[in-house]
Chain A
Amino acid sequence: MFYQWSKKVVADRFEEELVVAHLEKGLYYSVRGGIVELLDAMPFDDASRGKLEWIDRCNPDPAEIEQTQKVWEMMLKEELILEYSGQMDRRKPDFMLEKRIPSELLTFGDMQDLLALDIIHEVDDEGWPEQENEESSLPERSGSDEDSA
């Protein structure tokens, strides 16, 4: 068993902030503080050991540990992190905060209908709309080709 991001979630770190989007619920989250360091170590099979390793690596104070624990539990409750069966390769975390701030999870519901719909525009790799077909169906136009050069 191991803890990992839910498959319904996408997450990315921007400087010291993690932005997480739950594509099924349509909610998105801002995650900051020591919890980001802990999450950087995922997947881990034992949450307690993961936390101990984080404490060892990043040296948070007791208040921060308590707050980080609370945020971890909130993230489990929000189903952002799930326990999966099987085994997974551990990875070596390499992120550390430059300045210690309390762990925080902010939830945003102001794009719920947009994110949950997961609209993908029908575009190519460059962002342009895909065409219906290649055959021309334009009527004859007056004017020569030179006019349009």
Chain B
Amino acid sequence: MKRLEFDAFFDRSLSVFSAAESKSPQLQILKADWSGFRVEVRCSCTQLWKRIAPAISHWAAPVDDHAPDLILHASSNRALQEPLVAPNWIGGQFTEAGVPLDMNGEAVDFDLRFQPWHKLIHAHRDGHGLFWVADPEKLPWWEDTFPFRVLLHWGTRNTTLQLMHAAAVSPDGSSSWLIPGPSGSGKSTTVVSLLESGFSAQGDDYILVDTGENPMVFPLYDSIKLTWDAVGSWFPHLKDKLRLPAEGAKAVSSLTRIGTLARKMPIRGILIPELPSSHEALDSIFCEKISASAAMLAIAPTTLMHLPEDRPQSWARFRALLNQVPTFRWGLSSILQLNQTRFPLLAESKLWEVAVIMPAYNPGPELERAWESLVSQNWFNAKFTLYLVDDASDDGTAKMRIAALAAHEPERIKHITLERNSGPAAARNAGIDAAQVAGVDWIGFCDHDDAWPENKWLHSISKACMDPELQIVGGRVQYHIVPGVEDPIDKYLDDERHISHVHLGAILVRPEVFERIGHFDSDLRFSEDFDWWNRVREASEPFIILENTMLHYHWHGNNSVKDMSSKSLGILDILSKSIQRRRSANVNGKPRPMASLRDESERWRYDVVVPVFNGMQFLPSLLQNIAQQETPPHQVIFVDDASTDGSAEWLKDQLPGWFGNRGKLITLKANNCVAAARNVGWRAGESAWCAFLDQDDMWPPDKHSIQLGALKADRNRSWATTWIQPELAEGFEWPDNWDVISKSPHKCLVPSGWIVARSALFDVNGFNEEYKLGDDMEFAVRMRDRFGEEIVCEDVFVIRRFGEHNNSNRTEEMKIELMRMLRERIGAKRQSK
């Protein structure tokens, strides 16, 4: 192709694109800034934009108005005023990779893909890129997942930026591993599995890397592709989040639908994944460093094959990157959970010092079992020392037992003897003091009759590396009941006798926590753990309770405490102290709320409460709407407020089919008000969170996935809401005296958008039943007073139907209630002064 001909083609085409952009009322503009390289997309074709926008709408705009370095013009025959005229190909020359050359043998930035079923052109010159599609409906499905790839590659040729065929996942939220690999290497399966377990990712298929002095990775495309085999084998539960874009295509989704799309981050290193040829062989050796040259052979070929232009420059950029970041071969396990646990620990070189504190008073033979559980622990990159604190044992056999153990392992056991018997709290404190002097990284506890599960340390340190802000990592306690002995627990979390409670043996703590909140109260003989946990939660120390078993607790049935009342155990004293501390710490004199101690699976469960009154017209679609929630509720509780249209009977018949034993119907004998029905509903639930849905409203399928995700990201918040998309019933006219703003999407101030912590509902005593119409607003005011503003999930739109049935019709009555509420608030404020 002659250069002149290309230039003529480009000038003409750019002019056609620009004309379409200036005339298009639907022109879409998107901007990005990658290490100061500014890109602007201008798309004049609505149908084309619909195809490509989902993968790139997250691009972060620059903070200034400097002119872009690269403008990407996108359009199709549907939007252009005149057709593009093809350049003259006759006598053209191409490289082996199909790159056209000019008469001087230099590559021309022109990529033409003509197939019988689609036509697509990329062209680039002087900071402008053209992306032309004949018919957006016929654009190949894969182009949606990485639009403008070729143009970005050309456009960044004179920078340190490089597109790379690789994934990028962050183990700790502050830097990312690049994970290159061709199809079939396990890359996408690994990324999806890591996303699901809470890691964030910049990309699955293509990423943008700055190979300059401070290597960075940018999230380029919010898309993910999986083979349907992988979906069937590993992720059948994700089918609702995946789509089949065309026959024979892969399963496509977005990173944001499955997990979190990460922001730009420094590059930690490169992991070359290797599928296990033998599961056992690779199980133990899962990460080894490889040379830069070996790494280059692993990372370069696929990118250079996909983006054949400017190969020497790409090669040089890869080399520059490899000179700066380390590269490892990562042996993947066929057990995805194992990869998830190991991911934060890959290439970790730190050797952690762990103190395990074991208070002992006349210990029995189970001391040996406790010790063995510590010795057989998987101490990944860690060295442990047992601080065996003898609380002045006075039984000769027990004393010998302690001494024998300490003598047997002097390197690993620090034997401390208290002069006089002081109780378990004092004994633990002595251990903590000694451990702090030794400068350990983590402190754990194990009573002499308990035992640690094999992978307690591995699971704990993996989580702590994933979230470095965590100060305490805990988990479930598994009860082991001696046969023939009565089980002390009424309700376990599962059939394997797990609970989540205050057992200190189930946690690992950073030593600094004791400096901040103090040691165990040695004046307490019982429940010092309960008291300590209250102080931890009052101080908002970041902690997590995992679903993994972190302690084996043995119950022998010899318990003289079982009959002691809670009073005697000092529980009330401990509660009183906690209330006092929280009251003093809070500005308005009311005790501050505390974070939940439930484990991660329990902590994010939610119930749905639906108050119903004569709602037959809505109920069928309502059940379907709730059932379509991506994150399903634990319980669905309908409270029928004495309907007369058969709603209760219909629900009784239909609920089991939709929700099995998760569905519950409560029928009230007399009609009261929606507030009363809501209160009955949430009190009947048991999950940590409660969502409310009015019978005439509808949720999007991802409402709770998004809201719970937001609450997980900000664990001190107690409630969240959404936006509202109003929908007018057929024939319904918006009354003149209604607020016009409410007719457009707006922030949701009604229960259908809320999800509220159960503990908060108890705290504010639910909805005020004296308000028949404005109970929701009154509730919101009290919640904000007590717990602060709700999280607003702006991407979630609850459909709120307006019609004659709506209470909003009763505006005069609502005004009266509003005045009453304001009067009460003024009175309360006056009283508090």
Q: A19-B579, A119-B502, A134-B364 are in contact. Are A107 and B488 (CB under 8 A)?
A: no
Pairwise interchain contact A106-B758, C-beta atoms closer than 8 A: no
Q: In the complex, what distance in Å separates the CA atom of A108 from the CA atom of B575? A: 10
Pairwise interchain contact B576-A138, C-beta atoms closer than 8 A: no
Q: A113-B500, A143-B404 are in contact. Are A30 and B569 (CB under 8 A)?
A: no
Check if A141 is an interface residue, CB within 8 A of chain B.
yes
Check if A11 is an interface residue, CB within 8 A of chain B.
yes
| Among candidates A10, A108, A127, residue contacting B591 with C-beta atoms closer than 8 Å | A108
A residues 119-149 touching B (CB-CB < 8 Å): 119-139, 141-143, 145, 147-149
Q: Mark B512-532, 1 if CB is under 8 A from A, else 0.
A: 000000000000011010100
Pairwise interchain contact A143-B408, C-beta atoms closer than 8 A: yes
B190 to chain A, nearest CB (A): 35
Check if A53 is an interface residue, CB within 8 A of chain B.
no
B415 to chain A, nearest CB (A): 8
Pairwise interchain contact B572-A11, C-beta atoms closer than 8 A: yes
Q: In the complex, what distance in Å separates the CA atom of A72 from the CA atom of B361? A: 47
Check if B567 is an interface residue, CB within 8 A of chain A.
yes
Cβ–Cβ < 8 Å partners of B424 in chain A: 123, 127-128
What is the total number of residues of chain A having a CB less than 8 Å from a CB of chain B?
Answer: 52
Cβ–Cβ < 8 Å partners of B562 in chain A: 120
Cβ–Cβ < 8 Å partners of A11 in chain B: 572
B429 to chain A, nearest CB (A): 14
A142 to chain B, nearest CB (A): 7
Pairwise interchain contact B401-A17, C-beta atoms closer than 8 A: no
Check if A88 is an interface residue, CB within 8 A of chain B.
no
Q: A27-B762, A136-B397 are in contact. Are A120 and B365 (CB under 8 A)?
A: no
| Among candidates B554, B561, B572, B597, residue contacting A19 with C-beta atoms closer than 8 Å | B572
Pairwise interchain contact B591-A30, C-beta atoms closer than 8 A: yes
Pairwise interchain contact A14-B759, C-beta atoms closer than 8 A: no
Q: A30-B591, A137-B365, A145-B403 are in contact. Are A12 and B561 (CB under 8 A)?
A: no
Pairwise interchain contact B362-A128, C-beta atoms closer than 8 A: yes
Check if B447 is an interface residue, CB within 8 A of chain A.
yes
Which residue, of B415, B449, B565, B831, has the highest number of chain A Cβ atoms within 10 A?
A: B449
B residues 390-413 touching A (CB-CB < 8 Å): 391, 397, 399-408
Check if A21 is an interface residue, CB within 8 A of chain B.
yes
B524 to chain A, nearest CB (A): 8
Cβ–Cβ < 8 Å partners of B596 in chain A: 110, 113
A11 to chain B, nearest CB (A): 7
Cβ–Cβ < 8 Å partners of B558 in chain A: 122, 130-132
Pairwise interchain contact B368-A127, C-beta atoms closer than 8 A: no
B residues 751-772 touching A (CB-CB < 8 Å): 758-763, 765
Q: Mark A101-120, 1 if CB is under 8 A from B, else 0.
A: 01000111111111101111
Check if B715 is an interface residue, CB within 8 A of chain A.
no
What is the total number of residues of chain B having a CB less than 8 Å from a CB of chain A?
Answer: 80
Cβ–Cβ < 8 Å partners of A137 in chain B: 365, 368
Q: A106-B591, A110-B759, A121-B561 are in contact. Are A23 and B566 (CB under 8 A)?
A: yes
Pairwise interchain contact A138-B421, C-beta atoms closer than 8 A: no
Cβ–Cβ < 8 Å partners of A120 in chain B: 488, 559, 561-562, 564, 569
Pairwise interchain contact A19-B575, C-beta atoms closer than 8 A: yes
Cβ–Cβ < 8 Å partners of A108 in chain B: 579, 591, 759, 762-763
| Among candidates B361, B367, B554, B602, residue contacting A113 with C-beta atoms closer than 8 Å | B602
Pairwise interchain contact A114-B762, C-beta atoms closer than 8 A: no
Cβ–Cβ < 8 Å partners of A111 in chain B: 575, 594, 597
Check if A44 is an interface residue, CB within 8 A of chain B.
no
A64 to chain B, nearest CB (A): 11
B269 to chain A, nearest CB (A): 41
Q: In the complex, what distance in Å separates the CA atom of A137 from the CA atom of B226? A: 55
Pairwise interchain contact A112-B758, C-beta atoms closer than 8 A: yes
Cβ–Cβ < 8 Å partners of A112 in chain B: 758-759, 762
Q: In the complex, what distance in Å separates the CA atom of A140 from the CA atom of B567? A: 44
Closest to B570 in A: A12
Pairwise interchain contact A109-B763, C-beta atoms closer than 8 A: yes
| Among candidates B404, B559, B576, B593, residue contacting A110 with C-beta atoms closer than 8 Å | B593
Q: In the complex, what distance in Å separates the CA atom of A127 from the CA atom of B558? A: 13
Q: In the complex, what distance in Å separates the CA atom of A12 from the CA atom of B565? A: 12
Cβ–Cβ < 8 Å partners of B798 in chain A: none
20 more A-B contacts (CB under 8 A) besides A123-B424, A131-B362, A148-B403? Answer: A11-B572, A17-B576, A17-B580, A106-B590, A109-B758, A110-B537, A114-B597, A119-B488, A120-B559, A122-B488, A126-B421, A131-B364, A132-B556, A133-B365, A137-B368, A138-B365, A141-B405, A141-B407, A143-B404, A148-B406
Closest 5 CB pairs of A and B: A148-B403, A109-B762, A131-B364, A127-B525, A109-B759
Pairs across A and B, CB under 8 Å, 10 listed: A14-B576, A19-B575, A30-B579, A113-B596, A118-B566, A120-B488, A129-B448, A132-B554, A134-B397, A136-B365
